[in-house]
Amino acid sequence: MNITVGIDIGGTFIKGALLDPKGRILSKDEFPTGSKRTPKDVIKRTTEAVSLLLQKSTIAKKNVLGVGIGCPGQISSQKGIVYNSPNMKNWENVPLQSEISKALSLPVEIFNDANAAAWGEFWLGSGKNASTFILCTLGTGIGGGIIIDKKLYLGPDECAGELGHITVVNNGPKCGCGNHGCIETIASASSIVKRAEKKIRRGARTTLTKEYEKNSLTAKSIYIAAKNGDAFSKELLNDTGKYLGIAAAGIINTLNPDIIAYGGGLSKAGKFLFSSLKEEAKRRSIKIAFKRVKIIKASLGNDAGFIGAAGLMLEKRKK
Ligand SMILES: [Zn+2]
């Protein structure tokens, strides 16, 4: 009885894996989240995902310690409730933990997906040797997780780690959270695309124009263009890095972390993003704190979420 199931509920896929106590992946798979995305449908699909993972393996249910689930949105791990989830439909105060636990007859713990990914990276990835570790995920939105002295920091309302909503521009673009000028409105994949498209409409010269006229751009096409020497794309990523650096300096000066790791698709942009990020962070950080911090790319990719969810479940069981 020492196998854990890790699940990462995303807008497109429910990713899952069976893990041994050291976090080694015994098997993994992904299942479509479906277009309904209502609480009832997602609960059903998540339950099926766990059952299918077990069916395809030789592991009996009696050997499963429990299921750790990472889910997007505002979550109370303690209460087992999803207060709301922006990319899902009609998610309000959903008792996700008890519903799935009942359906599977297994212990279940739920966590915010970015917190789970942060724990995954801290446990087995880019933050392995750190004591104070920050993960910042650069995806459609920007998420984060904070580990202080080897413990996940949630805050009294379990809403700590919302790194995407650090303000970097006074009166900047309106953010989904209601604020203006959050780093998410500048540096998330969708925001970068929006900024690029606006500039192209205003006549900026770039190799992306053709693609923009054919269909809409993606963050990936922007960093590929940068790699191929497109000055416009290079400048756009360089600028994005600067704003990320402003946010990073705030984190560095507040928490004195060992490592800040960046995950998500955009972290693949490499030096086009990271050199200005580091430069800006250095310029704005307390010297001794900047000397310590390593600013790196996260290493577990899409596996971080389910590995971390399983790991956090194990941590909870220890108590
Ligand atoms: Zn915001």
* Ligand 1 center to 7 CA (angstroms): 26
Which pLDDT tens digit goes with each residue over 133-167? 999 999 989 999 999 999 999 999 999 999 999 99
Q: Would you place residue 181 in the very low, low, confident or very high pLDDT band (cuts 50, 70, 90)? A: very high
Which pTM was predicted?
A: 0.95
In one-letter notation, the amino acid at residue 29 is D
* Ligand 1 center to 174 CA (angstroms): 8
By the CB criterion, residues less than 5 angstroms from ion ligand 1 are: 165, 175, 177, 179, 182
Q: Is 47 helix (H, G, I), strand (E, B) or coil?
A: helix
Tallying the residues shown for the chain, one arrives at 319
Extended strands (E) in the chain: 3-9, 13-19, 25-32, 64-71, 74-76, 81-84, 92-94, 108-112, 133-138, 142-148, 151-152, 259-263, 294-297
Q: Is 150 helix (H, G, I), strand (E, B) or coil?
A: coil
β 294-297/259-263 pair status: parallel
* Ligand 1 center to 173 CA (angstroms): 10
* Ligand 1 center to 197 CA (angstroms): 21
Q: Is the pLDDT of residue 1 over 80?
A: no
Which pLDDT tens digit goes with each residue over 35-57? 999 999 999 999 999 999 999 99
Distance between CA atoms of residues 202 and 196, nearest Å: 10
Q: Would you place residue 201 in the very low, low, confident or very high pLDDT band (cuts 50, 70, 90)? A: very high
* Ligand 1 center to 182 CA (angstroms): 5
11-48 burial: b if 16+ Cβ within 10 Å, else e: eeebbbbbbeeebeeeebebbebeeebebeebbbbbbe
Two tokens, residue 218? 């993606």
* Ligand 1 center to 157 CA (angstroms): 17
Percent of the chain with pLDDT over 90: 93
* Ligand 1 center to 59 CA (angstroms): 43
